Structure 1
Amino acid sequence: MLRFIAWLGLVGSLIAAVTIAKIHRDPGSIVVDWRVVKEPPIEVRVESPSRGRIARKITAPGVVEPVEEVKIGSQMLGRVVAVNVKEGDVVKASDVLVKLDDTDSNARLLSSQARFDRLRAAITQAEDDLAKANRDEAQHGRLAGRGYSTPTELADARTHVHKAEAALQMSRRELLESEALKTISLEEVKRTEIRAPIDGVVAGLSVRVGEVVIAGTMNLPGTIMMTITDPTRMRVSADVEESDIPLVQPGQASHVYLQSDGRTAFEGVVEKITAKGRKSGESVGFETQVRVDHPPPSLRAGMSATVEIEVSRTADALGVPSHAVVHRRRKDLPNTPAVRAWAERNTRSPGERARDAESRYVKVAFVVEGGVARARPVELGLTDEFRVEILAGVTAGEQVVVAPFRALDQLTDGQSVHVVSDAEDSL
């Protein structure tokens, strides 16, 4: 019995010596496993970090609208006698859309034309009167030189010249005024024909024959009869959140997805960002206009859309699938050099307790080393919907655990794993 106890003590001493030596070599590598029956290795799939293009994108809801849209109204009060278009018609610039009653306008034009003609005749008469007055003055001047005309008669002749000149000048000014009134009357007649200002499509037609339309003023909006939109130039007015707006710049490439067809993307470019945001509930958004290049006929104003803006990208990033990076508390990780380095880079904030610092979450990727999963703190760069850039923590060629999701969620440092291929996983 004494010999058995002596042998047991010798074996215990040897185990203690080996353990102490290993602790000196790698303090964070000792994990005591008190389990009597070890759990079988977890089956995982791995992937080596690879280089490729990663683009960071933000999304925002928006509404499709035409770049050029003109609301058609009347510049005068009038009754509609003809509507030459219907909803959805394609029109060209200068096409007559609506005709107003022109009876009064034509009458005013005829009246102004008659007055203009009368004043032109009056000018001709005034010119003849001035010519006669000049002749009479000259004759009285000759007669006065011979003593056959008195000074009074000569003065009267000169007065008649001045009166004739004044009458002619007045007639000419009245003719200018009449010409302006005639131009106004002619323009009024033209306004009875409401024409398309641009090429486009008729939308929102709201006028009918027999209705009376009014012109808009500063305090009273006029009648809007229809809208002409240009379907060849479309854009999306998107509402970008204030947290994302610092990343958005004019000229950035974008993709537009319609709510009616979320699989088809239309290419676009950021054109304009408003300087002032609008508050909606608890959030603030900034209107961002995205021009759609080569809009198809199916793209119509008023459609709901989602804009995806590429705010940054790198063509040669070392990346892994986004779901391969998980979060673990600092206190649940071993005291390895990599974890200690992370703790040095992320020092405690003023006033933060040591216990709170140990509860911080660390972004880690699990790397398979000798059949065991090791948690590596990682530094991340750009992220897209599929991959994330690894700046530090994992190198190319290492085996990073990427699946299954349940295993990644429960995986701990030092846990035994069995790497399976896609073919084995399908079996």
Structure 2
Amino acid sequence: MDEDIDIGGRVAALRRRRGMTQEDLSEKTGLGIATIKKIEQGGSARMETYHAIARFFGKVTLAFAEPTSPTPGDEYQDPALAAIRAAINPPIDISGEPMFDVGVDEPDLRVLGRAIDSVASAYYADRYDDVAQLVPSVVRSAHLHVRELDGRERERAQQLRSDVLGVAGRYLIQVRQHDLALMALRDSLKDAIAIGDQPLAAAAISSQAWSLMRQARFGEVEELCVQASDQIEPRMSRATPEQLSAWGWLQLRAGAAAARNNREAEAREFHSMAAAAGARLPGEVDTAEHLMFGPTTVSLKTIEAELILGHPDRALELSQRVPDDVGTRLKTGVNRHYIDRAKAYVQTGDTDSAFGVLAALRQKAPEWLRYQQAAREVGEDILASPKRMPSRRQREMADFLGVPM
């Protein structure tokens, strides 16, 4: 295919090669005729729209994607992030050293550990404002400990610094600050490698893969995770929970990237390997970098992949098997699953059920929900439903999610 042809031209050329009208392509992909016309006329679309077209034509998703500028006002602009930037990405002076004040307090690893636990607890409780306030001082404290301590104590300080940078990176992904997140995760990985902590390093790579996927860098994610998982592949009969979790998460990230890039067979294989790791555990385990892993986590990610691969009925069927009582630490993963469930309802034409899922999520996790681009997309699809005028509750939800009416 000629790389000089724009996306609209590629879609139109492939459609005509198959002797199809725009109406035919709309019917085959499940996309609106207006969407097909918009794309062929040079307009942009959501990544999942490109994925649907690519899946039909048997192409990788990025054959229909190209770099675009972010939508103005689309990013999280809380001024509290300025302090996080200063801690994670400080200016570099003429000597090549970072410029920041790490303070003069005496190092205390127990106090630092408790502070990092507080950051992690705030993150998993969706208290994002608390995370933004806590992270700068805790990261600076971690730098102080690494600078001031020696030997085993310094290694422990590096482990803790890797931990807090990992949590900070995942928070920054949630608020869509991906480049800053990648900086935090890069430094988290460096500390983990320096002390030889493979599970912690793998967890940092897994979170890095998550951020790269948010930037639609699917091929890079798959290659990154395959390379890392090959290096740390555990012997299942002897592996510790941390080793199984680290390796399993790399399979899940690779599977998610493959699914998004229209590589169905590879996606299923990655998820199968993750399931094998999860089956060796008695349940969900809390391991490196506060990541949960186990059979339920694998099920949630498998359902997500089924939806991405264009099987909403299968996703809804599998979602009925997700247990209701998953505990606080798996809450974010389950909440993300509910957005997938709402999306599956939309794709099967049941917009009322989709709205019900979003309404329940707003009651349960409002702070988390308002940062979810996937929820906004579901809201857009519900409002675009031709059934009737939006209800008052739907309009309120649109205002909450920032969906234009």
**What range describes the TM-score normalised by the shorter chain of this pair?**
under 0.3
Which protein is bigger by CA-based radius of gyration? 1
Greater helix content: 2
Greater strand content: 1
* Greater RCO (CA < 8 Å, at least 6 residues apart): 1
